[in-house]
């Protein structure tokens, strides 16, 4: 009996369909209830949920937030790197285990933490703006009150008979004005301090949202922004533009044998080596052990030669496990390079680079292929 048959319900529905019902997709007949209001959309959603559920159940993976996110990226193809790795693994007949998935696709909790931090920052900004508005309104009200008091005093001056009365009234108004001015100064000073703190927080949040904290390189989001700018500049200057994807060879073996701390050290080392290629080569950590590069002013052959030189220099290095002192040996990476202008957009170019990368893997690794 197959795994799918073993998890079948008593009524004959598979585990994938059970998962569908958990997310509100039952086995309604056509034309019954809300499911029939938009049949095409509902059917597509149900089909996607079925594929996600079947993937998790087929490989006996836990139904968790992390795995659902990963399965969505794999089944839809949105996570091209992970989808390709899973396809290669399945072609060999090997299961996608939880340990393997955790190694090749660590769940990015930092992204969720950043979202919460940005939400808190937005709330703080809203409070600060509200307070600043209140201070401004108080200042306006105070100025208006000064005007009314002075106008009243001017009118009173004409009626009083002695200068002592005028001086007393003016002194009283001056004291009130001085007190209000001091209060407003304190409020404005507090608002200015809050504004400075808010600007610093915004700058940090903006930086954190575009930087990979392990390598200190730009992340995928920042790379996409640089790509958009560099593509326009390259088109204007009639310069070639190439994009590449690199992936560390046998990285799972390094993690399994020497631990994640050593694995992180290797990722940082590869990132530094790629970042030294050229001032006109933009490097970003694309996710996991994968890096994206953008070569401005180099055609495909030139970009390949530049990347191949970095590959050779890095392959000649020998790493040592700092904890155990045991040699790790040489670490290599493979890559794929394509011409940006031969493709419709960044997504298509990255897909072609990814295909070239996997040709390099299949050809023996530690090499660069073009597409």
Instruction: State the catalytic residues.
Output: 289
DSSP character at residue 245: E
User: Which two structure tokens, joined as six digits, stand for 52?
Assistant: 């996600």
CA-to-CA dists, residue 42 to 63, 256, 321, angstroms? 22, 42, 52
**CB-CB contact of 338 with 303 (8 Å):** no
Among residues 341, 332, 337, the alpha carbon closest in space to that of 369 is found at 337
Angle at which helices 39-58 and 15-22 cross, to 10°: 130
Residues 6+ apart with CB under 8 A from 246: 270, 274, 290, 291, 292, 293, 307, 333, 334, 335, 357
User: Which two structure tokens, joined as six digits, stand for 361?
Assistant: 């893997």
* Rounded Cα distance, 368 and 150, in Å: 82
Question: What are residue 244's phi and psi, to 5 degrees?
Answer: -135, 150
User: Which two structure tokens, joined as six digits, stand for 226?
Assistant: 């640089």
**CB-CB contact of 53 with 20 (8 Å):** yes
**CB-CB contact of 271 with 293 (8 Å):** no
Among residues 271, 261, 260, 266, the alpha carbon closest in space to that of 215 is found at 271
Task: Give the chain's largest Cα–Cα span.
Answer: 112
């Amino acid at each position: 009996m197959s795994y799918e048959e073993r998890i079948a319900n008593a009524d004959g529905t598979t585990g994938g369909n059970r998962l569908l019902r958990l997310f509100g997709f039952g086995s309604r007949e056509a034309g019954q209830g809300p499911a029939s209001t938009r049949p095409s959309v509902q059917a597509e959603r149900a089909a996607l949920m079925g594929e996600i559920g079947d993937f998790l159940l087929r490989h006996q993976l836990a139904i968790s937030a992390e795995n659902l996110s990963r399965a969505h990226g794999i089944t839809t193809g949105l996570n091209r790197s992970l989808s390709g790795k899973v396809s290669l693994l399945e072609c060999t007949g090997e299961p996608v285990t939880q340990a393997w998935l955790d190694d090749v696709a660590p769940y990015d909790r930092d992204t969720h933490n950043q979202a919460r931090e940005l939400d808190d920052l937005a709330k703080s900004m809203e409070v600060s703006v509200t307070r600043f508005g209140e201070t401004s309104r108080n200042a306006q009200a105070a100025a208006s009150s000064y005007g009314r008091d002075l106008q009243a005093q001017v009118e009173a001056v004409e009626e009083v008979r002695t200068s002592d009365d005028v001086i007393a009234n003016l002194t009283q108004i001056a004291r009130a004005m001085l007190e209000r001015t001091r209060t407003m100064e304190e409020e404005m000073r507090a608002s200015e301090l809050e504004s400075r703190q808010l600007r610093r927080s915004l700058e940090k949040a903006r930086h954190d949202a575009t930087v990979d904290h392990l390598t200190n390189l730009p992340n995928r989001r920042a790379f996409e922004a640089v790509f958009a700018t560099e593509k326009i500049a390259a088109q204007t200057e009639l310069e070639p533009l190439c994009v590449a994807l690199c992936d560390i060879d046998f990285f799972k073996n390094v993690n399994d044998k020497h631990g994640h701390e050593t694995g992180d050290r290797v990722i940082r080392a590869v990132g530094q080596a790629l970042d030294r290629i050229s001032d006109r080569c933009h490097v970003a950590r694309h996710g996991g052990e994968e890096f994206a590069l953008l070569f401005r002013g180099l055609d495909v052959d030139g970009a390949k030669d530049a990347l191949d030189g970095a590959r050779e220099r890095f392959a000649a290095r020998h790493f040592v496990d700092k904890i155990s002192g045991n040699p790790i040996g040489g670490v290599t990476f493979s890559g794929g390079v394509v011409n940006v202008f031969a493709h419709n957009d960044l997504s298509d170019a990255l897909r072609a680079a990814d295909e070239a990368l996997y040709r390099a893997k299949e050809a023996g690794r530690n090499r660069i292929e073009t597409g």
